[in-house]
Structure formats: structure tokens, C-alpha cells
């Protein structure tokens, strides 16, 4: 199994640009999570999906952030427009059922100049 | 709101000793408490999960305890090795959903 796949691994962009992060969960997993990690705030849950349906997006910082999961094998997290304070590592994770055990991807390191 | 506290200071342990990391939480007890390991530049990796009706869980050199009275979990690494050096994250999951809350992590360094 390839594990959770994220792309790109690194993204450098300028303030105001649109950024799209991509995630492919582990096949057979029905939960998908998007996290953001910074030194100051640690690992924060942004949004999670169950069977492609968004369940809780209360962690999404503001309207500039949006996430979609068009099918069981693909999800995107979009930031439009991006700001320097969005610079962080963004992780995608997936799990099977409500076991709680999550498998994380390698993360996307986003730098907004 | 629920808060999770882990050792804020980095922990430095001599190789071969037992490392003990602490995770404290407020308010109500979670359905599951988990421990993850994170190496620099990588995503967290699941280590152990313990349920609220379990007192202790072991896996090789790892042991986790869960005390719902103290609202605390302890994570032990026995016979520690330099390869155990990493940041360890505590996480709580509640029964209503798979939403998970992570602690800020404790950085562990094992010196030879």
C-alpha cells in the first residue's frame, strides 16, 4: 500500500495567489482529514470528511479556505487568496471507520511570500 | 473547550533509561487516547491506542497508561535508544465522531 499521498510536497507562492493542495487517501478508508501544523499552534484539524461528505469544518480558519472530496480517492484543500500567515505544513490523513487510528501523508510545506 | 497538555519542555534521557511522557486533559474523558510519533519533516505515525475502559496497553518497548480519575495518560519507552528521539504527540478522540484533538507534543532526545 502506498499510504496517503500528498502533492505538492513544497509550494512557494506570493500573497494573493490561489493555492491548491491535493490528497489521495489509502484505498478503503472512509474518513479523510486535513490538518495544519505550525510551531505556534501545533497540529490543528481543519476539516474532515466521511464517505466524501464534509462532517465538520469548524477548524477552517476563514472563507479563504475551502475543501472538496469529489470521490473516495481524491481531496483538495484550496486557499484563495493566500496570505503569509497561511504558511505552514498541511497534512492529509485517512482512517477506516471510527477506530481513531489515522494514517498521515508526508505533508505539503506551504510558504506564502 | 477541551484542552490537552503535554510536557512543554524537551525531554533528554540517557540511552537505556526509561522515558516517560505525560499527557493531561481537562473536562470529560475521551473514548480513545492515542500516541503518535513525529520525525522532522514527516507526518505523525500512529503508535498506540488505549480505550477509556483500559488501564494499560503495551507494544514491544512501549507502554501507555490511562487514568480517567487523574485525567492523564503516561507514555513509557523502556530501554530507550537514540533512534527513539522524536516528537511524541498525544491525541484524544471522542465517541461522537472521529474528530481528534492533538496535544502540542513533547520532543524527546535520547543521548548515547
* B3 pLDDT above the threshold of 90: no
Which pLDDT value is given to residue A99?
65
Q: Which of B48, B43, B82 is nearest to B62 (CA)?
A: B48
Rounded distance, CA B22 to CA B105, Å?
A: 10
Indicate the average pLDDT of chain A: 94
Name residue A36's beta-bridge partners: A44, A90
Q: Across the A/B interface, how many CB contacts are shorter than 8 Å?
A: 55
The partner residue sitting opposite A104, judged by closest CB among B44, B98, B99, is B44
pLDDT tens digits for B10-36? Answer: 999 999 999 999 999 987 778 789 999
Distance CA A92, CA B40 (A): 16
As a whole-number percent, the residues of chain A with pLDDT over 90 amount to 85
* pLDDT for the residue B30: 82
Residue of B nearest to A48 (CA): B99
pLDDT at B108 over 70: yes
Give the closest residue to B31 by CA, choosing from B56, B57, B51, B54.
B51
Taking CA–CA distances from B31, the nearest residue in chain A reads: A100
Q: A48 CB near a chain B CB, below 8 Å?
A: yes
- Strands B19-25 and B4-6 come out as antiparallel
For residue B4, name the pLDDT band (cuts at 50, 70, 90): confident
Quote the CA–CA distance of A75 and A71 in Å, as a whole number.
8
With an 8 Å Cβ cutoff, is A50 touching chain B? yes
To the nearest whole number, what is the mean pLDDT of chain B? 90
| Separation in Å, CA of A110 to nearest CA in chain B | 13
What pLDDT score does B97 carry? 57
| Cross-chain CB nearest to A106 (options B42, B89, B100) | B42
Determine, for residues A56 and B97 on separate chains, whether the beta-carbon distance falls below 8 Å.
Answer: yes
Query: Which chain B residue has its CA at the smallest distance from A95's CA?
Result: B98
Amino acid at each position: 500500500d502506498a499510504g496517503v499521498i500528498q502533492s505538492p510536497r513544497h509550494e512557494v507562492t506570493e500573497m494573493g495567489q490561489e493555492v491548491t493542495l491535493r490528497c489521495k487517501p489509502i484505498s478503503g478508508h472512509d474518513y479523510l482529514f486535513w490538518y495544519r501544523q505550525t510551531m505556534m499552534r501545533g497540529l490543528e484539524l481543519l476539516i474532515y470528511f466521511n464517505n466524501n461528505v464534509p462532517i465538520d469544518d469548524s477548524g477552517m480558519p476563514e472563507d479563504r479556505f475551502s475543501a472538496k472530496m469529489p470521490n473516495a480517492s481524491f481531496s483538495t484543500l484550496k486557499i484563495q487568496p493566500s496570505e503569509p500567515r497561511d504558511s505552514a505544513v498541511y497534512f492529509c490523513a485517512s482512517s477506516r471507520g471510527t477506530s481513531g487510528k489515522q494514517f498521515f501523508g508526508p505533508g505539503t510545506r506551504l510558504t506564502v511570500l | 473547550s477541551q484542552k490537552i497538555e503535554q510536557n512543554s519542555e524537551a525531554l533528554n534521557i540517557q540511552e537505556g533509561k526509561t522515558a516517560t511522557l505525560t499527557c493531561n486533559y481537562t473536562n470529560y474523558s475521551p473514548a480513545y487516547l492515542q500516541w503518535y510519533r513525529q520525525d522532522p519533516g514527516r507526518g505523525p505515525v500512529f503508535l498506540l491506542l488505549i480505550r477509556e475502559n483500559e488501564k494499560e496497553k503495551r507494544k514491544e518497548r512501549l507502554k501507555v497508561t490511562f487514568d480517567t480519575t487523574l485525567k492523564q495518560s503516561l507514555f513509557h519507552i523502556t530501554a530507550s535508544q537514540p533512534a527513539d528521539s522524536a516528537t511524541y504527540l498525544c491525541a484524544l478522540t471522542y465517541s461522537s465522531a472521529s474528530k481528534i484533538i492533538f496535544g502540542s507534543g513533547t520532543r524527546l532526545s535520547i543521548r548515547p
